[in-house]
Amino acid sequence: MFKDIEHLIRLALVIAIAVVAFIVLRVAVVPTSFGQYGHYRGAAVGEAAARPIAFAGHQVCEGCHTDVAEKKKQGKHVVVSCEACHGALARHADDPTSVTPVKLDTATLCGRCHEANSAKPKLFPQVVTADHSGGIACDTCHQPHKPRIEDEKPAAEGKK
Amino acid sequence: MDITRRHLLALLPAAAVAWKYILAGTPEASPNYKLSEHWWGMLIDIPKCIGCGSCVRACAEENDVPDGYFRTWIERYHVADWRIERPEVESPNGGKQGFPPNEISGGKNFFVPKLCNHCTDSPCTQVCPVGATFVTPDGVVLVDKSYCLGCRYCVQACPYGCRFVNPKTNTAEKCSLCYHRITKGLTTACCEVCPTGARQLADLKNPKDPIHEFLKTHTVQVLKPHMATGAKVFYNGMDGSVR
Amino acid sequence: MQIPVEGFMYPNEVELQWSVLIVLYPFITGLVAGAFILASLERVFRVQAVKPTYRLALLTALSFLLVAPLPLQLHLGHPERSLEMYLTPHRSSAMAMFGFVYLWYLMAVLLLEIWLDYRPDIVLRSQTSTGLLRLLYRALTLGSSNLSERSLRIDDKLGYFITLVGIPSAFLLHGYVGFIFGSVKANPWWSSPLMPIVFIFSAMVSGIAAVMLLYMVSTRLRGREIDMRCLDKIAQYLLYTFVIDFSLEMLDLLQRIYEADESFRSLDFMVHTRLWTSQVIVQILLGTVLPIALIGLTQILKLANTSRKAIYALAGSLTVIGIFAMRWNVVIGGQLFSKSFLGYTTYKMGFATREGLLTAIVLMILPFIILWFLVKFLPPWPDADSLPAAGATPAHGTS
């Protein structure tokens, strides 16, 4: 009787071997932290947290550059983070001599925030630079850390 | 503005602790960070956004985002009159270099920053065939670069268009809520550089976080609520025309 | 590479994620499912007329099924990690679960059925052939050469059972592909409960048409007479399936137009502009309405054999092209519009790139090459020299 289904038994054996091989493969290859928190590699959470940092954060800058911090506190740019203008400087904070921050091109930089645009909030200080300054660098007249020009009447907020 | 300052001052001691580990060259998550104590989200205050693009630039620098792809971006809306279902929207290079002055006046104009919404019921996580994208116990949706197949199913499944495949790594990528920063007590790169406080990181599990008071006193929305994704990026003052 | 955009698209949406290779994939698996359903018509439903195509249909299904994973592998960012889908499948992902449906269908249904049906031939050839072929045949016998009447009866019963299980498996195979698209709530062009059903029926249509064409071509190449009773029956089944498929697609379209939800304006514009040729002209008119009309004609009028053969050949070819166009319209069409419903992008298909047109063409030719070898290795026809040697002219010219 068995002879007649011999080929099927052999087939069943082949399938069983394949299943076992698959299980062995799974145990060997799947990363150990998989399933730790959910259906993913648990170690990936730690790896994501371990990325190097590019922006130091303004408290770190103010830790050394106290004079600038003091000056900023007196003006409207107190809420602007140092690195918003100066770029990512964690490496500079880590070792000040390794990276020297580049002097910024105020003509482009300031305009990104302050160039007049109908989509900007009405009360946000913005100017049409062509009329306002004729395109010269903004820091010709304004000191970026304390932007209001002292000996002038406070300019009306909004478009000129 | 005051909210931003207070928020940051609260973070100062934690940041100081974390910084020590960064300087020491061992930037693993600080030992005082417990996954179960946090549930991350973000608050975007649309009336405050000036479309300067600082957030887009900072994100690209902090996270090595390749040109032409965006982990965050800004859209500018122009809504003429009552047709709020048909706004004119543009996002030149994602708003990375800010926006050129627009000739269109009249109507309603505003900026909307967009990023991954770190959904509680994230559809991208649901469709990932191998578990390469997932929601961490503290509510951040991340991508495991070393496990992702690059099948792009998650990119198709995201209703917000916040995912892309990085051509250098051939894996899916998106905003990680600067997980490497927030686990050390810092804020995200985009929130760090935002000059008006339009973007603010929020820890929904922290009772002292100003978001709770804000949500009680302001009208907020999430993007595409009909998709029921459990989005955790809250938009204050969002117009009905926003897609 | 600047991609032209009309209107507004989310910045990350401009570049298409899924290329022509992902169009090929449902097309190929559709042919598999359809060919198998045709084969099962004889085995399970005892439609004697289509018996001449039984083995050919199975081998066609196998050739295409073996090629099916290739477009996926070429598309993946990390094909070397594809084993992860079997080792750590995410149970909520339709794509992951499909990996197992594919495996089940390949191993438990198709290969098993082919093996059981061909076993007498395999055993015979393991004893009569020489060299490498002999080794291959012997391996396939699994070491057993028992061809007693009882064992053959058991094989037949088991084969019947497997075909029985195979029919829902074939539906599952291609219905699942439909579900992979239909379950994506983010995409209104895809998201629909009808999607798996539309995919199944269009798969059956393409598979039946493909086997019909292959039967006509291979019989011609062998210099034999086409069994008209068989061909007429296949064409009939093609017609019935086509009518159902067309009705489903029209139902989806009409509902969309009537309900006109948030996405409708954007999708409607896309169909009228970017998808006009591929959807309205190629898929609907040339690929569905015309074949249905042509085959319908053969059912109403009494036409001569030659006329019917010509009509079947034309209708079959148009059908296969039309179903390819349908896959194109679903996959590519679903990525041409913005999820903001405010804009459109363009698909820039490369040529000699990893996911380009040339690759797609090669992948479409490959199953026929495999089929040629399979037909040589496991001849579907009772006569010994099934196909003439390469280069030789056919023994009899057929009209």
Greatest extent of chain A over all pairs of C-alpha atoms, in Å:
111
C-chain CB neighbours of A22 within 8 Å are 86
Taking only the tens place, the pLDDT of each residue in C18-57 is: 999 999 999 999 999 999 988 888 888 888 888 888 999 9
Contact between B126 and C93 using a beta-carbon 8 Å cutoff = yes
Count other Cβ atoms within 10 Å, centred on residue B198: 25
Instruction: Kindly list the domain boundaries of chain A, sorted by start residue.
Output: 2-49, 54-102, 105-160
Contact between C85 and B130 using a beta-carbon 8 Å cutoff = yes
C-chain CB neighbours of A29 within 8 Å are 83, 87
Count other Cβ atoms within 10 Å, centred on residue C123: 19
Residue B84 in any domain: the answer is no
Cα distance between residue A154 and residue B77, in whole Å: 32
CA distance A130 to chain B (A): 12
CATH topology for the C19-243+351-377 domain? Formate dehydrogenase/DMSO reductase fold (1.20.1630)
CB A26 within 8 A of CB C138: no
Pick from C19, C28, C50: nearest CA to C320:
C28
Residue B151 in any domain: the answer is yes
A6–chain C Cβ distance below 8 A for any pair: yes
Number of cross-chain residue pairs from A and B with Cβ atoms under 8 Å apart:
157
CB C57 within 8 A of CB C39: yes
Instruction: Name the 3-class secondary structure at B86.
Output: coil
Residue B126 in any domain: the answer is yes
Sequential DSSP letters for A24-62? HHHHHHS-TTBTSSSSSBTHHHHHHHTPPPS---HHHHH
Find the helix packing angle between C195-222 and C20-43, rounded to 10°: 70
Residues B179-194: what's their mean pLDDT? 96
Give every CB contact of residue C376 below 8 A, 6+ residues apart in sequence. C386, C387
Amino acid at B36: S
Cα distance between residue C17 and residue B173, in whole Å: 13
pLDDT-based confidence at residue C396 (cuts at 50, 70, 90): very low
CB B177 within 8 A of CB B116: yes
Cα distance between residue C156 and residue C30, in whole Å: 27
The residue whose two tokens read 């500079």 is: A92
Residues B176-194: what's their mean pLDDT? 96
pLDDT for B17? 53
Instruction: Name the 3-class secondary structure at C162.
Output: helix
Give every CB contact of residue B208 below 8 A, 6+ residues apart in sequence. B10
**Structural domain boundaries enclosing B47:** 2-70+116-236
CB C207 within 8 A of CB C56: no
Residue B158 in any domain: the answer is yes
pLDDT for C390? 40
B-chain CB neighbours of C17 within 8 Å are 152, 155-156, 165
**Domain count along chain B:** 1
The residue whose two tokens read 């062995």 is: A24
Residues B9-29: what's their mean pLDDT? 47
Look at residue C301 and tell me whether its pLDDT is greater than 70. Answer: yes
Taking only the tens place, the pLDDT of each residue in A112-158 is: 999 999 999 999 999 998 899 887 889 889 999 999 887 644 554 44
- Output the average pLDDT for chain B: 89
pLDDT-based confidence at residue B16 (cuts at 50, 70, 90): low
Cα distance between residue C267 and residue B188, in whole Å: 37
Residues A59-81: what's their mean pLDDT? 92
pLDDT-based confidence at residue A103 (cuts at 50, 70, 90): confident
C-chain CB neighbours of B129 within 8 Å are 84-85, 89-90, 93, 95-96, 99
C-chain CB neighbours of B162 within 8 Å are 10, 12
Number of cross-chain residue pairs from A and C with Cβ atoms under 8 Å apart:
38
Residue B224 in any domain: the answer is yes
Closest in C79, C89, C340 to B129, CB measured: C89
CB C51 within 8 A of CB C42: yes
Look at residue A83 and tell me whether its pLDDT is greater than 80. Answer: yes
Look at residue B8 and tell me whether its pLDDT is greater than 80. Answer: no
Look at residue C395 and tell me whether its pLDDT is greater than 90. Answer: no
Find the helix packing angle between C20-43 and C305-331, rounded to 10°: 140
pLDDT-based confidence at residue B30 (cuts at 50, 70, 90): low
CATH number at residue B27: 3.30.70.20
Closest in B73, B152, B159 to C11, CB measured: B73
Cα A123 to Cα A75, A114, B48, B237: the distances in Å are 17, 12, 10, 16
CA distance A14 to chain B (A): 28
Contact between B149 and C8 using a beta-carbon 8 Å cutoff = no
pLDDT for A153? 45
Sequential DSSP letters for C1-59? -PPP-EE---GGGSS-SS-HHHHHHHHHHHHHHHHHHHHHHHHTT--GGGGGGHHHHHH
pLDDT for B19? 52
CB B121 within 8 A of CB B228: yes
pLDDT for C144? 87
Phi, psi of B51 (to 5 degrees): 60, 35
Strands B72-79 and B40-45: unpaired
Phi, psi of B139 (to 5 degrees): 85, 20
C11–chain B Cβ distance below 8 A for any pair: yes
A-chain CB neighbours of B197 within 8 Å are 79
Cα B175 to Cα A60, B143, B144, B164, B196: the distances in Å are 24, 9, 13, 10, 21
Pick from B229, B226, B204: nearest CA to B214:
B204
A37–chain C Cβ distance below 8 A for any pair: no
- Output the average pLDDT for chain C: 91
Q: Is the pLDDT higher at B27 or at B162?
A: B162
Look at residue A102 and tell me whether its pLDDT is greater than 90. Answer: no
**All partners of chain B with 3 or more CB pairs under 8 angstroms:** A, C
Taking only the tens place, the pLDDT of each residue in C318-373 is: 999 999 999 999 999 999 999 999 999 999 999 999 999 999 999 999 999 999 99
Taking only the tens place, the pLDDT of each residue in C171-219 is: 898 899 999 999 999 999 999 999 999 999 999 999 999 999 999 999 9
Pick from C277, C203, C289, C195: nearest CA to C246:
C289
The residue whose two tokens read 């150990």 is: A32
Contact between B131 and C75 using a beta-carbon 8 Å cutoff = no
First and final CA of chain B: distance in angstroms?
28
Closest in C88, C112, C143 to A10, CB measured: C143
Q: What is the 3-state secondary structure (H, E, C) of B137-194?
A: CCCCEEECCCCCCCCCHHHHHCCCCCCEEECCCCEEECCCCCHHHHCCCCCCHHHHHC
Cα distance between residue C10 and residue C187, in whole Å: 14
CA distance B180 to chain C (A): 23
The structure's pTM equals 0.89
Q: Is the pLDDT higher at C107 or at C297?
A: C297
CA distance C315 to chain A (A): 42
Residues B90-109: what's their mean pLDDT? 88
- Beta-ladder partners of C344: C6, C337
pLDDT for C382? 79
B-chain CB neighbours of C354 within 8 Å are none
Contact between A119 and B54 using a beta-carbon 8 Å cutoff = no
